[in-house]
Amino acid sequence: MSFTSPYFLLFIICVWLIYAVTPRSLRWIVLLITSLAFYCICGPSAVIWMASCTVVTYAGGLLLRELKSIRAKRLALAINLCLVFGLLSVFKFTAFAAKLLPDILGKYSAGFLLPLGISFYIFQSCGYLIDIYRGKYEPQKNIAKYALFVSFFPQSVQGPIGRYDHLAPQLFKGDRPNADSYKYAIQLILWGLVKKILLADRVAVLVSTVFSAPEEHGGIVSIVAAAFYCVQLYCDFSGGIDISRGVAEGLGITLDKNFEQPLFAISVQDFWRRWHMTLGSWMRDYLFYPLSLSKLFGRFGKHMRRVLGTRAGKLVPSLFATFIVFFIIGIWHGGAWKFIVFGVFHGFIISSAMFLKPAFDKMRSVTKINDESKLWHIFRILRTLVIVGAGRIITRSANTAGGRRMLGKIIISPKTTHKKKHMCMSLYIYRDERERERERERERERERDTHTHTHQAQGYSWLPSTLCFCKDTSILSELKLL
């Protein structure tokens, strides 16, 4: 069910009303029923996979509490994580693996469609398991309450990724929203709809036109399309998050922020601190810190300090951990080479910036650049947008080769084409493709009507031969209605 459909808005109004009149102790049950209903509306298979993840991680949490040995806990956690992430991998990477091994997996590639919200609730439930392993809180004993934490429907489409200790108490407490909560909820939903419908959907027309045929457009048009794609992606994603947060706010529940003006970031590191913040914090707490502080990376750091010196030796383990994190982020976005290249690209940029920071600081002091200067601040924003935009070109193109060609055209041949249709490309943003399709459909309807009336005047010869004997106009009118 799309966030922008009128059925979703009607669904939300009904949920808000039912939640408001339900006794406080039963409100979490209303949330569970409506969440399961939302998954059922979107497809029964979505409920099956969500329930499978819920049962596995619920049982894993109880098992971790009962085990006393650290080694046994570690083994149980590893098995649970392999099960749920293996489930995610089957859906995300079957098609990708089929391209690499077409003779073996080709016949299975079309049978796996990504279930609703699987990336979000798997990351959320795995974070829950790791926190229990670390002793951060006790596991939830009530499987129905845990199922609500996993399946809470406002998060199912676009996130954010919640943490159990922040989200679960709000779900189970059942506080009734006040007038200010409803006001803020409506503001968030309206602002999200504006972003998705008035901005993202309009910009998407130009972006799709250019990226569907990049060889027909010059460098300038490609630059504009890449910039607009960044705007489209931000408006669509952040708009969906605003709607999610607004729906939850109308239920008295505050979800985590997921964006903090990422298009005004002054570095790529700063961009990822502002973009998809809940994914970034999940990767930091559950992947980066465990990797960089592990014994293996500690031994590696000691070896690199002997080889490269104190500073570089201390930094290299963090650089490798950063690179691995962004490689995982790349494959999290999808099973294709272009997403892997996207992750490696950002990992390389951020790792290089961390390693070369002393050289950049020295260069800035030699050139006497004022860090507080507005021009320097604007330059840093534009520089970041250029780097991020290059990465977005890779993911938006049909494949890595298409992205490489478009980037090459921008760098080598940054000029527009002279064809009239490309000179007027900017006008596409104001024309909705669906409106043009509806107009063509109406034209086809008029042509069919004209064709029908012409043949009716010729003695009803347009009817099938078995009905040509019929000349009674009343019977013919009934047949036409049928």
Mean pLDDT of the chain: 82
Q: What is the pLDDT of residue 167?
A: 94
pLDDT at 457: 43
250-286 confidence digits (pLDDT tens): 999 999 999 999 999 999 999 999 999 999 999 999 9
Tell me if 254 is assigned to some domain: no
- pTM, two decimal places: 0.81
On whether both 150 and 273 belong to a single domain, the answer is no
Of 133, 123, 80, 152, the C-alpha closest to 282 is 123
Q: Are residues 41 and 156 in the same domain?
A: yes
Residue-range definition of the domain harbouring residue 71: 1-172
CA distance 362 to 422: 45
**Tokens linked to 43:** 């497809």
Same domain, 163 and 279: no
Whether the per-residue pLDDT at 207 is higher than 80: the answer is: yes
| Residue 18 CA: distances (Å) to CA of 13, 153, 176, 263 | 9, 15, 11, 39
Tell me if 300 is assigned to some domain: yes
Distances in whole angstroms, Cα of residue 361 to Cα of each of 276, 316, 357, 380:
29, 19, 6, 14
Residue 126 lies in a domain: yes
Residue 463 counted as domain residue: no
Is residue 360 a part of any domain in this protein? yes
Q: What is the mean pLDDT of residues 73-102?
A: 80
* pLDDT exceeds 70 at position 104: no
Give the closest residue to 381 by CA, choosing from 394, 226, 373, 326.
Answer: 373
pLDDT band at residue 350 using 50, 70 and 90 as cut-offs: very high
Among candidate residues 396, 429, 456, the one where a domain is terminated: 396
Is 431 a member of any domain?
no
**For 450-468, what is each residue's pLDDT tens digit?**
544 444 444 433 333 333 3
In terms of domains, do 156 and 292 share one? no
Question: Do residues 23 and 152 both lie within one domain?
Answer: yes
Can you give the pLDDT at residue 222?
A: 86
Q: Does residue 124 have a pLDDT over 50? A: yes
Q: Are residue 167 and residue 268 in the same domain, yes or no? A: no
Q: How many domains in the chain? A: 2
pLDDT band for position 470 (cuts 50, 70, 90): very low
Is 46 in the same domain as 159? Answer: yes
- Percent of all residues in the chain with a pLDDT value above 70, rounded to a whole number: 81
* Structure tokens, 197: 């419908």
In-domain check, residue 362:
yes
| Residue-wise pLDDT tens digits, 226-256 | 999 999 999 999 999 999 999 999 999 999 9
Residues 166 and 267 placed together within one structural domain of the fold = no
Residue reference for tokens 């790349």: 330
Per-residue HEC secondary structure of the chain comes to CCCCCHHHHHHHHHHHHHHHHCCHHHHHHHHHHHHHHHHHHHCHHHHHHHHHHHHHHHHHHHHHHHCCCHHHHHHHHHHHHHHHHHHHHHHHHHHHHHHHCHHHHHHHHHHCCCCCCHHHHHHHHHHHHHHHHCCCCCCCCCHHHHHHHHHCHHHCCCCCCCCHHHHHHHHHHCCCCCHHHHHHHHHHHHHHHHHHHHHHHHHHHHHHHHHHCHHHCCHHHHHHHHHHHHHHHHHHHHHHHHHHHHHHHCCCCCCCCCCCCHHHCCCHHHHHHHCCHHHHHHHHHHHHHHHHCCHHHHHHHHHHHHHHCHHHHHHHHHHHHHHHHHHHHHHHHCCCHHHHHHHHHHHHHHHHHHHCHHHHHHHHHHCCCCCCCHHHHHHHHHHHHHHHHHHHHHHHCCCHHHHHHHHHHHHHCCCCCCCHHHHCHHHHHHCCHHHHHHHHHHHHHHHHHHHHHHHHCCCCCCCCHHHCCCCCHHHHHHHHHC
Q: Which of 330, 386, 419 is nearest to 92 (CA)?
A: 330
Same structural domain for residues 154 and 271?
no
Query: Could you say which of 156, 172, 188 is where a domain stops?
Result: 172
Out of 365, 396, 427, pick the residue that ends a domain: 396
Domain match, 7 and 137 both: yes
> Residue 188 in contact with residue 257, Cβ under 8 Å?
no
Taking only the tens place, the pLDDT of each residue in 11-36 is 999 999 999 999 999 999 999 999 99
Q: Domain check: are 281 and 158 in the same one? A: no
pLDDT tens for 135-154 read: 999 999 999 999 999 999 99
Name residues whose C-beta falls within 8 Å of residue 339's C-beta, 6 or more positions apart in sequence: 330, 331, 333, 395
pLDDT over threshold 60, residue 62: yes
| Least confident segment among 67-81, 92-106, 342-356, 390-404 | 92-106
210 part of a folded domain: no
Q: Greater confidence, 301 or 187?
A: 187
Within 10 angstroms of residue 452's Cβ, the number of other Cβ atoms is: 12
Residue 271 and residue 156 in one domain: no
